[in-house]
Structure 1
């Protein structure tokens, strides 16, 4: 060969798809006179290099001349064998170990025609020496020989199928159906071997094997677990208990025969965990036992699994009876009280089984994967199949075709989804064929992608084209998955052509009920109001609502979400920015759906001022107090009167309350940050409002300047910067007349300011009121509302009691004259942080007061385990414990001089006053109880001091806390555990 010939030969090999051209050239040369006839054929395989290497290896263990002559004389045999060798290293290895099986591909009838299920059954039963015509076939080969013969027979039949799939582009649904039939035949042959193992006892029991999952739906993969359920009945005259043990033995043998590795290889695992009670339940049950379980204990996902149930082996009459028994349960599942919660739990199980490192390349469980298609189709069947038997087919594609034909899925969507399912299944088959391993991950190796792409006839740049098509189908499945449930609802509501499937009103209401809407008829009316007509707004709503309906359905109260969305949309319908914001900013629409379907508190804020929707497009962390105060001062200055100025300030407060509430709902906001944000917002509101009221009162009384300085002292949770959404603002007012000012006139002015401030901030209006509670002042409600600094000093010197010193632990002078605030703090510090701590009498008094609070303040009928404030291990327990430590030790340890509970706890731990574990228990409980308290207010729209007993409210609270749907019980258990541990610390530290 000349150098030019070598270049030509090299370029030819590259054109044909060889990568290791030097090795390929040598290998082809070794074919001798057959080289020219095989070169082009090798180039048509998925991996020409692998096909050539496997062919040469096969030639070493079989009649070389006969093999090559057959390949060069019959193009069909050549294409089938080389297609297998180039796509599947596992089948190539099988041929090297069982070389005579290549001749299976030379028979055109066997190699090109899909065999009927009965033929596969007969062939595998014959392989183990069983009579296929017998009612209960029994294997006659020695056990080890029968097990090996079954494996070799299965692999031989799989080889024929793979050749037909690869070389003749068999329809993917035909491949999946044949794989399922082959699995059924294998189970029948395994049962024949099991009967031989059990012996004569097998004659006393009838056993049927029910295929579930993909095998039941006749859409099995090349490599997959085969899900089954076993059902048995004793034969006439047989003892029921003995028959049950025999059935268990037969089922166990079938599982082992199929699953175990032997010298002849393995087949696939048999998975019986879909049976009643899963792995904890008996392996086989009678028909009556199955029925009893499904009547009393089964969950929705188990009825969804029964959609695929199909008798495949064993006693045919018993299998048919099982299917007849199970059928009614499937179509009643949608009416179960917890249908929606169970459906959500099914979704979570899918996600939970998805390794994070595989998420982006998962073909089955990933977003836009096969499970999305199958789940959507099955759920549509469960919802509508109760009234429409035509859509009850077990297979995904047949069911999807019927759903489309019956109008539950739009025609274009149905076709697109079928195309995507076919592509994804073909891709899954090609991935698994290579090594016959169970995998659903699309490889990222370029050589593997190239091999798979070539096996799918994707052209010259097969790897890149495979990635492009796969990602396009993923996007399409993800889009259609959202549309399947929701867009047809719009078509039913708006009655416009081209809006997807044409659902009847009854079907639409059934679907809405299945999605969790308590009032489907009202929901349908809302949809009609939002989407009917030809306006631009209606058109945008029809684009938005499919995905928003899904977000509503995933939240605790879909009905409230949809109603709230309608009300806000109607209020803002004429604006230009609202729908454009929702359409173009997907995060805003999702946040809005979450807020509306979860929180009455936040929904009420939006209804008060729908323009607040803009906030959802912004950062939802609390703004700094300085920025909020500057804005409040600016808007107040534009108003001519105090009432208008305070209204403007309250409007800013309303917006910022919405920001903080939305942040708590859509992100994992830290409860301490929320409390500090609410407290800082209250500071700014009081500061700006105090300035407005003081200036207005000066103007009305003809004063050039205020006659007295005024400060506001935050108390309680407000003083600790730990406000919750439902908290009032506990305050005390202090003033100090300016030098030369008349004391009585100064006092009257200060009293007027305090009263007007409370009135204007508490007025009913479009913005939430801010109630100022001054009951913690000296002498309580009987004492003056405002005192001078000297009056406070005189009172605390002469009359102060232990509880007042304790209350001052949470005092923080935050608003008004800065110098007065500092001097008030200096006044109360010796009282609340006594230098010598507390004597025994004072400690006794604190404990006596706490005991009285526990006995008298807990509302009648309240559960002490779940009361947030006064319950065992609740806020009062934790805060009183911290405050006792502060009064005992803060005089000597400045680190404890803080009104904030968490800061004081950390300081107590660092000083050794609490063990690290005790401090951690108190911190965790305080955080959780405070979060639950916030969540209760957000959900109900009003404060609440107990974990809700209502199931829906408790589920909503759990959702706000970040628990998944259906995990309200886990939330309650976590709460009880945390408070129980906190109470143990309180018993040791406070009461000990």
Structure 2
């Protein structure tokens, strides 16, 4: 061969996947000479293997030992291809055929059909000469024959697997056949054990043959073997159950002794030291008491243990129990007896938590250097899928026998069909599980050794990529695996840690299904005032065959329990029904409640604890989506609201359309803030800031819209602004607060009368279009000069004239909270300069201070509602909001000129500045602050609870308890709420009297 021809030949080998080109070239020549086959055909055949170099090297070594065995197989297309695929994917099979080249003949026809369970058992039984349950011999030759025969059938299973264009699609079929083969191997090994224990085949007799025949031994498969989803080289987890078939032949105690000897010898036949390597480990450590417990127990002994001592994880392990070998009747009896215990185990205390902790311990016990490489046990690995599916099965299988499946993929299908898991999550889980199992299979095929670690060497990754078909390169398969892990972990965390799982598992037995015969009394007992109405709502939600009704049936038992834990379960359930009906068949809603980390519980808390939230959610049902992400419940910034409001204005030509959208924006943001407040996600300062920002954005949007309609281009020079007053000006709004405002304008060359008329029209339009019958917004101008008797809008000059000549002390006091919020910025600046002259005087008029104190006393006596208990009035009562605010305001009038920090519209900021200036002591500041905050929170909570504004702390214990829940008091804290408020305000009142009147 010329150098050019050699170069061309090597290039052709590289295209076929060879990497050790010189070595491959020489081996092809050698094999061609030994078999008489062409180099081209041999190279093509080798390229079928995931590692052509290894495949070629393996076949050459076999041919050196028995060239006829290789040559004879070459005329069978299927068998020839199977050989190359097997030895190219598995050095273990290469070694097997090197030890037993005559086994190549059994590859004829391989790769087409999988052998069935019966044929597997028959073939392995024949290999050991089994008759009536006893092998022909109990000697080493029988064990060797068994192991060779097992690897023969294993090779045919692998040949089928490796021949598939998409091997992930048949992973369940391959795994099932591997489990069947394991069962057949155990059956054959048990036959050998019977022969050995009874002295057949020349061994010393331990027990008479008739006693061995009468001793019952069932080998029950657990884990992957039980579920028929075994790997190529898995440990086969088993439990041994013993007994006697005839007490006259052998007593039960002696039968258990015999069965124990049989179990030991069966395991040795599979994995003991012999000339032919062990098959896999038979692991009996899942038996009662683990390694410390008896290897074989009677059925009664097993059941006694499970009734008295078993831990939760043992029932999880029993989920997949299935007779594998031995006495099938005894095995079935064992499975039938333990299954009810398995499916009631989730009702044990802290069951879900124990399963979750066990999964975490598995991960924690992986050596740190192995965690990134673990296909099975690591985060995003096979165990994440299996634990998730098993936990869902065990919890919901308490009441639903349709999901009681052994296999992971079958269980996933059942969980989807019955609505316990979403189709998209299940589809992703199933797809990823197949891929992970495929990777695991190929890794174990490599050396026919138990391993779950991804390789790190480039050539091993490249071979894995070819063997799985998941990628074209080693880097590609690594990248694909990482993506699968991320997806699996994300789904696992969302489903495995669902609060609904713990809640459903924790339901009392009588609450797990809503039986019409018992539901009425049960609903009344747990707190529903109208159980008949509740039953109607439940029936409306759960009746039917739709997937929506199915999921509602799963959700309802625990949601009823959560509603009952709330303040008003009847209203909560009614609101939930209305929201569900409003959302119709929207797929995300019920899926979110089922799958979210806390959305369902949060929704029940909101609806049963706040009519304010419930009413708004009925109008804006899509807001339920916010419950899946706390970030969506955070108040939006003023900038974001302004941008949305301006976008609304550009989309709508008429003021009516624009304001309709602005009102929708306001309702939505008020609801967002209310939901966050009830769920305890906001402080009182954040709440006040959010409500103030929403109100500002609403007024600003309304002013832009009405100005466009009212002020013609020729009068555009008119400046007009809205000044926030009171709690609005202080940025201290609560739910139910009015928006106190004043209106100011400046003609800027327009006829004064015309300017005044335009200003009044703007005010009228603002008030008209900001009205919202669903969520009122009252623009209250009562704090303007002269109060309700004064002009509703004044020019800047008129304000200046008024404050210079006629201003009263209370009007200067009112200006302490004045802050521009909408309209002309220049006009706002000018007005605030004017206000500063009035509210921060260089010297305060003593008569004015006395008048403020006189007015305060009159307010306390005259403005309280008739019959109201002053001590319970949150705004005007002793030590309440007005005491703190009036005290701070009088200090501002006296000292703000000299203390710049007190020049603020915020009550608490001014109080803190007064403390820093030594005007109020630290303890007094703390008491005043505590009273102001508590009264503010109680006012908002009262509105959130009832959808009605009230300034009086209720005496009704249920209402007090509901208010307390919103303030995060524990249930039944009505008395504590009351006592806390009265004690806090008493202390604040003493400070007020000392500083205000002293």
1:341 lines up with 2:353 in the alignment? yes
Deviations 1:825-875 (A, max 9, x none): xxxxxxxxxxxxxxxxxxxxxxxxxxxxxxxxxxxxxxxxxxxxxxxxxxx
- Distance across 2 between alignment mates of 1:613 and 1:478: 38
Q: Report the alpha carbon displacement of residue 377 of structure 1 after superposing the two structures with TM.
A: 2.8
What do you get for the CA RMSD once the two structures are aligned? 5.4
Pick closer, same or farther for the CA change 1:559–1:246 going to 2, 3 Å: farther
Task: Answer whether contact 1:138 1:192 (CA < 8 A) is retained.
Answer: yes
Partner residue in 2 for 1:81: 83
Pick closer, same or farther for the CA change 1:498–1:195 going to 2, 3 Å: closer
Task: Answer whether contact 1:403 1:409 (CA < 8 A) is retained.
Answer: yes
Partner residue in 1 for 2:49: 45
- Distance across 2 between alignment mates of 1:91 and 1:642: 94
Q: Report the alpha carbon displacement of residue 462 of structure 1 after superposing the two structures with TM.
A: 3.8
1:228 lines up with 2:238 in the alignment? yes
Deviations 1:695-741 (A, max 9, x none): 867678899999xxxxxxxxxxxxxxxxxxxxxxxxxxx9999xxxx
Pick closer, same or farther for the CA change 1:642–1:304 going to 2, 3 Å: farther
Partner residue in 1 for 2:221: 211
2:95 to 93, 96, 103: 93
- Distance across 2 between alignment mates of 1:756 and 1:551: 40
- Distance across 2 between alignment mates of 1:92 and 1:400: 37
Pick closer, same or farther for the CA change 1:543–1:564 going to 2, 3 Å: farther
Task: Answer whether contact 2:240 2:263 (CA < 8 A) is retained.
Answer: yes
Instruction: Flag structure 1 segments of 5+ consecutive residues without an equivalent.
Output: 590-599, 615-633, 649-689, 707-733, 738-748, 770-936, 944-992
Pick closer, same or farther for the CA change 1:524–1:52 going to 2, 3 Å: farther
Partner residue in 2 for 1:183: 182
Partner residue in 1 for 2:17: 17
Partner residue in 1 for 2:312: 300
Pick closer, same or farther for the CA change 1:755–1:298 going to 2, 3 Å: same
Partner residue in 2 for 1:595: none
- Distance across 2 between alignment mates of 1:351 and 1:645: 61
- Distance across 2 between alignment mates of 1:521 and 1:24: 79
2:554 to 503, 507, 513: 507
1:282 to 274, 290, 294: 294
Pick closer, same or farther for the CA change 1:577–1:39 going to 2, 3 Å: same
- Distance across 2 between alignment mates of 1:521 and 1:333: 32
Deviations 1:225-244 (A, max 9, x none): 11111111234133333333
Q: How does 1:509-588 map to 2 (within 5 A)?
A: 509=556, 533-534=582-583, 548-549=596-597
1:606 lines up with 2:677 in the alignment? no
Q: How does 1:843-854 map to 2 (within 5 A)?
A: none
1:143 lines up with 2:139 in the alignment? yes
Task: Answer whether contact 2:563 2:573 (CA < 8 A) is retained.
Answer: no
Q: How does 1:820-859 map to 2 (within 5 A)?
A: none
2:155 to 147, 151, 159: 159
1:761 lines up with 2:930 in the alignment? yes
1:195 lines up with 2:243 in the alignment? no
Report the 3-state secondary structure (helix = DSSP H, G, I; strand = E; otherwise coil) of the residue aligned with 2:369.
helix
Pick closer, same or farther for the CA change 1:482–1:422 going to 2, 3 Å: same
- Distance across 1 between alignment mates of 2:621 and 2:555: 31
- Distance across 2 between alignment mates of 1:142 and 1:644: 105
Deviations 1:748-799 (A, max 9, x none): x989x96576345345423599xxxxxxxxxxxxxxxxxxxxxxxxxxxxxx
Partner residue in 2 for 1:450: 462
Q: Report the alpha carbon displacement of residue 503 of structure 1 after superposing the two structures with TM.
A: 1.8
TM-score normalised by structure 2 residue count = 0.56
- Distance across 1 between alignment mates of 2:605 and 2:895: 52
- Distance across 1 between alignment mates of 2:476 and 2:30: 34
- Distance across 1 between alignment mates of 2:603 and 2:355: 15
Q: Report the alpha carbon displacement of residue 51 of structure 1 after superposing the two structures with TM.
A: 0.5
1:129 lines up with 2:129 in the alignment? yes
Report the 3-state secondary structure (helix = DSSP H, G, I; strand = E; otherwise coil) of the residue aligned with 2:163.
helix
Q: How does 1:890-929 map to 2 (within 5 A)?
A: none
- Distance across 2 between alignment mates of 1:515 and 1:321: 40
Q: How does 1:547-696 map to 2 (within 5 A)?
A: 548-549=596-597, 604=680, 606=682, 611=687
Q: What is the number of residues matched between the two proteins?
A: 663
1:54 to 58, 62, 67: 58
Pick closer, same or farther for the CA change 1:705–1:453 going to 2, 3 Å: closer
- Distance across 2 between alignment mates of 1:516 and 1:140: 69
Report the 3-state secondary structure (helix = DSSP H, G, I; strand = E; otherwise coil) of the residue aligned with 1:298.
coil
Deviations 1:622-651 (A, max 9, x none): xxxxxxxxxxxx989x999999999x9xxx
Report the 3-state secondary structure (helix = DSSP H, G, I; strand = E; otherwise coil) of the residue aligned with 2:216.
strand
Task: Answer whether contact 1:420 1:477 (CA < 8 A) is retained.
Answer: yes
Q: How does 1:367-386 map to 2 (within 5 A)?
A: 367-386=379-398
Whichever of the two has the greater Rg, that structure is 2
- Distance across 1 between alignment mates of 2:561 and 2:215: 41
Report the 3-state secondary structure (helix = DSSP H, G, I; strand = E; otherwise coil) of the residue aligned with 1:503.
helix
Partner residue in 2 for 1:466: 477
Pick closer, same or farther for the CA change 1:543–1:89 going to 2, 3 Å: same
Report the 3-state secondary structure (helix = DSSP H, G, I; strand = E; otherwise coil) of the residue aligned with 2:597.
helix
Q: Report the alpha carbon displacement of residue 432 of structure 1 after superposing the two structures with TM.
A: 1.0
Deviations 1:39-72 (A, max 9, x none): 111112111111111111111111x14523532x
Pick closer, same or farther for the CA change 1:126–1:300 going to 2, 3 Å: same
Task: Answer whether contact 1:492 1:504 (CA < 8 A) is retained.
Answer: no
Q: Report the alpha carbon displacement of residue 217 of structure 1 after superposing the two structures with TM.
A: 0.6
Instruction: Flag structure 2 segments of 5+ consecutive residues without an equivalent.
Output: 199-206, 502-537, 635-675, 691-729, 733-739, 741-809, 820-882, 900-914, 940-966, 974-998
- Distance across 1 between alignment mates of 2:82 and 2:56: 14
Q: How does 1:242-257 map to 2 (within 5 A)?
A: 242-257=254-269
- Distance across 2 between alignment mates of 1:448 and 1:506: 50
Pick closer, same or farther for the CA change 1:645–1:447 going to 2, 3 Å: farther
Pick closer, same or farther for the CA change 1:183–1:303 going to 2, 3 Å: same
Q: Report the alpha carbon displacement of residue 118 of structure 1 after superposing the two structures with TM.
A: 2.5
Q: Report the alpha carbon displacement of residue 189 of structure 1 after superposing the two structures with TM.
A: 2.0
- Distance across 2 between alignment mates of 1:194 and 1:514: 56
Deviations 1:118-175 (A, max 9, x none): 32223223323322xx1xx123324222222222222222122212221356622121
Greater shift in the superposed pair: 52-61 or 496-505 = 496-505
Greater shift in the superposed pair: 417-426 or 561-570 = 561-570
Task: Answer whether contact 2:429 2:488 (CA < 8 A) is retained.
Answer: yes
Pick closer, same or farther for the CA change 1:351–1:497 going to 2, 3 Å: farther
Q: How does 1:929-948 map to 2 (within 5 A)?
A: none
Partner residue in 2 for 1:270: 282
- Distance across 1 between alignment mates of 2:815 and 2:279: 81
Deviations 1:511-551 (A, max 9, x none): 87999998999998787677664599x99877865664369
Partner residue in 2 for 1:316: 328
Report the 3-state secondary structure (helix = DSSP H, G, I; strand = E; otherwise coil) of the residue aligned with 1:228.
strand
Q: Report the alpha carbon displacement of residue 570 of structure 1 after superposing the two structures with TM.
A: 8.2
- Distance across 1 between alignment mates of 2:562 and 2:325: 37
- Distance across 2 between alignment mates of 1:55 and 1:313: 36
- Distance across 1 between alignment mates of 2:615 and 2:292: 54
Q: Report the alpha carbon displacement of residue 588 of structure 1 after superposing the two structures with TM.
A: 9.0
TM-score normalised by structure 1 residue count = 0.57
Partner residue in 1 for 2:794: none
- Distance across 2 between alignment mates of 1:514 and 1:300: 25
Partner residue in 2 for 1:780: none
Pick closer, same or farther for the CA change 1:13–1:213 going to 2, 3 Å: same
Report the 3-state secondary structure (helix = DSSP H, G, I; strand = E; otherwise coil) of the residue aligned with 1:290.
helix
Report the 3-state secondary structure (helix = DSSP H, G, I; strand = E; otherwise coil) of the residue aligned with 1:207.
strand
